Amino acid sequence: MSRRAVMIRLTALIMLLAFISAPNLFAPVFEPLTTNNAPAIYNQGNLLFLTMAHLGTVFSAALASTLVAVLLGVLVTRPSGVEFLPLSRSLVSIGQTFPPVAVLAIAVPLVGFGEKPTLIALFLYGLLPIFENTLTGLTQVSPLTLDAAKGMGMGPTRRLYEVELPLALPVILAGIRLSVVINLGTATIGSTVAAKGLGEVIIAGLQSNNTAFILQGGLVVALLAVLIHDGLMMFERLLVRRLGLGPAAA
């Protein structure tokens, strides 16, 4: 990343932190977007709290999706688990087959309103990219490399942890990054079932016809997506470089 790009990202981060910490300072910017003396800054909740709640939901779901998807990916790439590949692929595709709104509609009667149905929807929605990238990363490990590890006396478990997973790591991390970024935007629908998050700001704007609220919620989510995407990519490159595996997958 060039120095100019780094400066742009740093400026965006500073502006984002300033806005969610002291949004009233930006009221003059949003006032032209309001009508009938409507508030220029979202005033029905704390933006910093909503942002942290939004991120907490997304990363909690991402952690659960990662654990399940990677374990499934490992299972179906073992000789004893190959037969479960079609079933596993069908299961992880559920989140992409059914819209998150439909998952929420099914989950609410089962677990009630709040954060739980949103976590279920994001968990299901985030499985596919991580699973497919895990599958791709593990199956692309060279058979010659595995034979060499076997010749060194490594058993199946040791080969998995010391050879296969480290070599597949760049692709797996790219899948996790994609899953997190997708769910940052998808998580806004959680506010329709009373989950705390930035969707509250957008929905409040839609209900009151306040363009300023809609823009504020959308901008914060968009900036978070860009910054977290870049941050995770930098983490991938650093980790891969330290492991001596070459450039991370884009």
Q: How deeply is 31 buried, as exposed, middle or buried, from its count of CB atoms within 10 A (0-12, 13-18, 19+)?
A: middle
| Residue-level pLDDT at 111 | 82
> What is the 3-state secondary structure of 124-183?
HHHHHHHHHHHHHHHHCCCHHHHHHHHHCCCCHHHHHHHHHHHHHHHHHHHHHHHHHHHH
Q: Which two tokens stand for residue 52?
A: 């942290």
Lowest pLDDT segment from 26-30, 40-44, 126-130, 242-246: 242-246
Dump pLDDT digits (tens) for 110-128.
888 888 899 999 999 999 9
State the pLDDT at residue 249: 40
Domains of the chain with bracketed CATH: 41-243 (1.10.3720.10)
Distance in angstroms (rounded) separating the CA atoms of residues 188 and 170: 29
| C-alpha closest to that of 192 among 89, 103, 131 | 103
Task: Among 98-107, 137-146, 179-188, 217-226, name the one with the lowest average pLDDT.
Answer: 98-107
Is the pLDDT confidence value at 250 over 50? no
Cα-flanking dihedrals φ and ψ of residue 35, to 5°?
Answer: -135, 160
Across residues 154-171, what is the average pLDDT?
A: 89
